[in-house]
């Protein structure tokens, strides 16, 4: 069971006792997802046509929900693959206020979608969720955009290594981008060593920096 959090912009998040980590920034879950994953990562990529996204950590499904709604709004196709090792329960998901926070409908469709197979959620949004660790996941396609949303490097150092980013880089198209909330030195160095050109961008709210890394 995860604990519920109300973040500063009024949107919900969860707290994992297992990792002693919250799923989003306390300064605003919705604001963080929009700023980093949607506006820095997905939106610019959609200017060039259909986009395949890989998300590390499906979690609450907030990033996927926002990606779906942007795809529908722009009428551009998004093929969204997400891995999750410790899924939230239906009960926990059903209590999240993301429909109210965004004014959009259908959030629970993402949670009801089956694991392990691609599901058309709309004509513009195709979701494939896999219950697996990132370490055990074998991707079968190349991605334009990576939403790298693991718990932070102190909690899960094994997910922020050169080795793991090399695996991700191998599945990222040249010119594709990885966006993440962590701008720690070890993350920048591991991404650079794995073949990404790393850029620092202004973070959401009071957060100074986030990263956008471009696959060389
Ligand atoms: C920061 S939260 C993700 C938040 C999520 N993107 C959202 O929008 O709610 C990190 C997620 O990674 C999952 N996770 C932790 N270790 C993992 C691993 N080794 N492989 C895959 N998922 C993992 C956690 O269960 C959690 O859901």
pLDDT of residue 176: 98
Please report which residue ranges of 24-84 form alpha helices under DSSP H: 29-33, 43-46, 62-74
Residue 206's pLDDT band, with cuts at 50, 70 and 90, is very high
CATH number at residue 128: 3.40.50.150
Q: Are strands 143-148 and 172-180 parallel, antiparallel or unpaired?
A: parallel
Pick from 33, 150, 153, 168 the residue to mutate for probing ligand 1's pocket: most ligand atoms within 8 Å of its CB: 150
| Average pLDDT of the residues in 120-126 | 98
Q: What range defines the domain where residue 112 resides?
A: 30-215
Non-local (6+) Cβ contacts of 155 within 8 A are 19, 20, 21
> Is 146 among the domain residues?
yes
**What domain count does the chain have?**
1
d(C-alpha 168, C-alpha 143), whole Å? 9
> Is 19 among the domain residues?
no
Pick from 21, 56, 57 the residue to mutate for probing ligand 1's pocket: most ligand atoms within 8 Å of its CB: 57
Give residue 18 CA to ligand 1 midpoint distance, Å.
12
DSSP 161-185: SHHHHHHHHHTEEEEEEEEES---H
> Is 23 among the domain residues?
no
What pLDDT digit, counting tens, does each position of 146-160 carry? 999 999 999 999 999
What pLDDT digit, counting tens, does each position of 25-66 carry? 999 999 999 999 999 999 999 998 999 999 999 999 999 999
> Which pTM value belongs to this model?
0.98
């Amino acid at each position: 069971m995860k604990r519920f959090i109300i973040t500063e912009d009024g949107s919900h998040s969860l707290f994992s006792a297992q990792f002693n980590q919250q799923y989003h920034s306390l300064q605003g879950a919705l604001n963080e997802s929009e700023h980093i994953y949607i506006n820095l990562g997905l939106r610019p990529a959609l200017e060039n046509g259909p986009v395949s996204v890989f998300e590390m950590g499906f979690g609450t499904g907030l990033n996927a929900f926002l990606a779906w709604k942007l795809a529908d709004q722009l009428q551009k196709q998004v093929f969204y693959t997400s891995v999750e090792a410790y899924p939230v329960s239906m009960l926990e998901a059903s209590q999240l206020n993301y429909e109210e926070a965004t004014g959009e409908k259908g959030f629970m469709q993402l949670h009801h979608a089956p694991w392990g197979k691609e599901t058309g959620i709309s004509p513009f949004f195709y979701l494939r969720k896999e219950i697996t660790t990132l370490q055990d996941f074998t991707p079968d396609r190349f991605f334009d955009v990576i939403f790298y949303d693991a718990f932070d490097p102190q909690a899960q150092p094994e997910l922020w290594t050169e080795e793991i980013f090399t695996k991700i880089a191998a599945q990222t198209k040249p010119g594709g981008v990885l966006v993440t909330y962590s701008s720690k030195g070890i993350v920048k160095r591991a991404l650079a060593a794995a073949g990404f050109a790393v850029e620092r961008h202004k973070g959401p709210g009071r957060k100074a920096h986030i990263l956008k890394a471009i696959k060389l």
